[in-house]
Structure 1
Amino acid sequence: MRASHLYLSFVGASSSYMSAMGAIGPMPSSTYSRWDPSGSPQSSALQQDFQFPSAGAYFPSVLAPLASDQSQTFGSALTTGYAQQSQEFSVHYVDCPVTAALPGSVHMGVQQSPSYSWPPVSSLQPAGDPSHQGFAGEMDSQKLEEARMYIQGMDYCKKMWQDEDGDTILHIYTAKGLREYAFAAAEDLCSLGKLDSREHKGKTALLVAVTANQPLIVQDLLSLGADINACDDKGQTALHLAATYGFPRVMQTILSMGLNVNLEARNFEGLTPLHCAAISHSNTMKALCSTVPGLADVGLQSQAEDKLSCVQLLLTYGASILSQDIKSNKTVLHLAVKEGNVQLVRFLLRINLPDMQAFVNMKAHGNTALHMAAGLHSSYHQEEIIRLLLNRGADPGVRNLENDQPAHLLQSGDRGEQLKFILKKRNAASRRRVTSLQDQE
């Protein structure tokens, strides 16, 4: 493995398979087709009059089977999907006994060694190959048989081999999007009790598949018994990663298989997957708002839609909207308001909760969402967010730990006075309603 230095350069996958994918930089939406928005069953919490993003009317059919005739093109770690990422990375392999092949030849970007034979080129098409039809498309049986024979022909040492980054043959096949070879390797490693082997950043093959946006391989690994709640060295589960990068098809695969997935798992920052999805959506909306007016970034719009769909999927499958992060007690509403993310605020406030008023007035270290909205001095959406919160029961009279009401946190000047008037007017109306109810009693 260390006899010579060979380099495999590709976009979007480092030796830890996208450990540096940027600040939540997702796969371009072009790597998979849109979902059919018709007939999407909703949980009781989501039976609402939701206005879709301006980028297009779009919601996933979260429970309906995916049409078998919808061809999907999923980017692998070596295909053009990652060519649109902003950074390039190099993976360092040294005479890998798995990926080495004929002398002097080059395959998949790796110089090949005479020591071992590499599977035929025809059998090494990424999972995103057009021959794979539909999200749940069948594997090529001939390629799968070739892969099984190849894996079975390896001796034990080769099967158990891990490179200097801890990557097994399964990690490598998964990152490259080689579905049949990943499946064959997973079958074999499963029999050896090594299906959930970890690389140097704690990622199992399942977590690599999620990060590489490979829903087909995610499905295969879960069907073979991969640990759905495994986490990396940052405490991130498969759901955390799918939510962070905004991969709704991967998330749907994880959630729809009926496995015992922990929707409330916390990463080492104290965040649930729902929190991660909200933060990621806010970051994309912030980037979208920073673009030149009139020159909408279609890629960012698609990312925002995908990430909002991840929020909806998590809520549809039972993630708690009341969950608070461990460090600051923020709910998803606090997180959305804090970033001035009016789109997500609208979405969350349209959900039919048994006690919306209690949710809106939850405190994060003493501050309600209305306190945070009052502090959005430079946000174009400050007034709209304040009005949205007030309309759903936010209490302007609540005081934080510093004994401040939301009105005390408003900016100075005319705009601050206008917003203060709105808060005082609503506060007075609330007091009149309380008095009226007391008189009726």
Structure 2
Amino acid sequence: MGGGGRDAAPERRPPPLVPPPDGEADAESAETATESGGETPGAPGPSSSAPWPGPPPLPPTSCGAPPVPHLGPGGAYGGGPPSLGGCQAPFAPPDPTWSQPMAAPGGDEGGAVAGLALDLDLELDPEPDPGELEAARAAIRAIDPHELLRQDEEGDTILHVLCARGLRVPARAVAEAFAQWGQLELREHRGKTPLLVAAAAAAPGVVRDLLGLGADPNGTDRDGRSVLHVAAQLGLPRVLQAVMSSGVPVNLESRNFEGHTPLHCAVLSHNASVRGGGIPPPAPHERLRCVQILLDMGADWGSQDVRSGWSVLHLAVGEGNLTLTRLLLRRPGAQRLVNVTAHGNTPLHVAAALRGSPHQDGLIRLLLACGADPQVRNLEHELPHALLPHGPHGEQLRLLLRSRPRTRPRK
């Protein structure tokens, strides 16, 4: 920032981008860094075989908003170097983690669900052209590390910008430099790392590259959302497939600040797309793919929302979402989870309490066929049939529920 009567700070000269010949140090750069009193970022510098040394000492000053830089000599940003203090998040080994995908279940439950398992082999982006990648690396090596690491007033680096635009080749070249300096977890003002930005931009190739370079798959933004939460919420199955194909262990049961796992987010996203009301693309079948991929990765579909206690089956039934309910009840262990209660209510209670849903009859019959117990009482001591609407249709379903024997013993 400029100041009227303040003395100008001594000019900083960037370090050389390649080691000096014969191992001689750049005495002038070293002297400038020493006099400035700057502190070296926490990440260790690269090895002697690296194309450039680690980033030089950077003082804790603000920086101006950068444009997208031209990846050529001389850099692209003006102003002083950015502050890196407090930008990195330590990695914690996730538990539980995904390691091997579960085989998609067989069977034919009709319609979109029946063909879903055949449609999950999503094509990922091809590997970048080696010549283009090498040219991008050469361009990056010509840029001052100060400029690459600079953050604008919203915390974005050039890597965030490239990830947001899905520009895989330059993003990978820049990410390789960031990884070398241990700076892949730099966060913008909403707490998003480059990985989270790439996920939200529907850039599966960039996501896979970042994970391969060591980006933390369990890092979260200020709302507690991991890369899985972002992809599930936005309905991006190719991003989930990129995470799965990377082989990097990832926590499937992490919860955002609303208490939702990625699977909860995928179910809520599909519910919203089925409900309509101006929900933007992707289409419902893309969002349904997200549910299937997370299930195949081993997500616990019996986990319950922290606030409401609802499982994903409660959420699907409560929306009158017959397609999604069918998908969930095809999973192994459905009979064990179909009677899970949330504040005393089973999914059958939820189905009986639906109003105005054309799928109420189908949902109730499907739940009963999968072992739902019509004799379970909720906390108000109500049986499911007591929650049915009045009228001929409700009476017909009430007779159906009353005629069904108990399907499990009381505990």
Partner of 1:206: 195
Superposition TM-score, scaled by structure 1 size: 0.67
State yes or no: 1:401 paired with 2:401: no
CA distance in 1, matches of 2:64, 2:164: 23
Partner of 1:165, secondary structure, is coil
Matches within 5 A, 1:280-295: 280-287=269-276
Q: Distance in 1 between matches of 2:64 and 2:217?
A: 37
Q: 1:319-338 residue pairs with structure 2 within 5 A?
A: 319-338=299-318
Aligned residues: 318
Aligned counterparts of 1:45 and 1:137: Cα–Cα separation in 2 = 25
Partner of residue 49 from structure 1, selected from 108, 119, 124: 108
Aligned counterparts of 1:362 and 1:5: Cα–Cα separation in 2: 52
Match for residue 168 of structure 2?
179
- Residue 24 of structure 2 is matched in structure 1 by none
For residues 184 and 142 of structure 2, what CA distance do their matches in structure 1 show? 18
Given the alignment of the two structures, is residue 314 of structure 1 paired with residue 294 of structure 2, yes or no? yes
Give 1:336 shift: 0.1
Work out which of the two has the higher radius of gyration on C-alpha atoms and give 1 or 2.
Answer: 2
Partner of 2:250: 261
For residues 209-358 of structure 1, the aligned pairs below 5 Å read: 209-287=198-276, 303-353=283-333, 356-358=334-336
Residues 1:380 and 2:358 aligned together: yes
In the alignment, the residues of structure 1 paired with residue 181 and residue 102 of structure 2 have an alpha-carbon distance, to the nearest angstrom, of: 41
1:136 CA displacement: 4.1
Give the distance between the partners of 1:376 and 1:221, measured in 2 at CA: 44
User: Cα deviations across residues 297-345 of structure 1 (Å, max 9, x unaligned)?
Assistant: 9x96x62111111111111111112111111221110000011101101
Q: CA deviation at 1:251?
A: 0.3
The CA deviation string for residues 82-110 of structure 1, in whole angstroms up to 9 with x for no partner, is xxxxxxxxxxxxxxxxxxxxxxxxxxxxx
Unaligned ranges ≥5, structure 2: 3-62, 69-99
Q: SS at the partner of 1:226? A: coil
Whether the 8 Å contact between 1:285 and 1:341 is mirrored in structure 2 is yes
The residue aligned with 1:33 is none
Partners of 2:382 and 2:325 in 1: CA distance:
23
Distance 1:349 1:5, change over 3 A: closer
- Give the whole-Å Cα distance in 2 for the aligned partners of 1:4 and 1:165: 9
| Alignment partner of 1:421 out of 369, 393, 399 | 399
CA contact (8 A) 1:234 1:268 kept: yes
Q: CA RMSD in A?
A: 2.9
Q: 1:60 to 1:377 in 2, by over 3 A?
A: same
Q: Secondary structure at the match of 1:333?
A: helix
Structure 1 position 352, deviation (Å): 3.0
**1:323 counterpart SS class:** coil
Relative distance call for 1:350 and 1:156 in structure 2 (3 A) is closer
C-alpha distance in 2, partners of 1:60/1:214? Answer: 23
- Runs of 5+ consecutive residues of structure 1 not aligned to the other structure: 9-40, 67-133, 292-296, 435-441
Give the one of 342, 348, 352 matched to 1:364: 342
Indicate the SS of the match to 1:396. coil
Which residue number in structure 1 is paired with residue 53 of structure 2? none
Task: Choose which of 129, 152, 159 in structure 2 pairs with 1:170.
Answer: 159
Which residue does the alignment assign to 1:189? 178
Deviation of the 1:45 alpha carbon: 7.0
Distance 1:60 1:237 in 2: 27
Structure 1, 323-332 or 148-157: larger mean CA deviation: 148-157
Cα distance in 1 for partners of 2:111, 2:101 equals: 15
For residues 64-75 of structure 1, the aligned pairs below 5 Å read none
Q: TM-score, with normalisation over the residues of structure 2? A: 0.71
On the 8 A contact 1:167/1:199 being kept in 2, the answer is yes
Q: CA deviation at 1:227?
A: 0.6
Q: Following the alignment from structure 1 to structure 2, what is the Cα–Cα distance between the partners of residues 51 and 407?
A: 27
Which residue number in structure 2 is paired with residue 430 of structure 1? 406
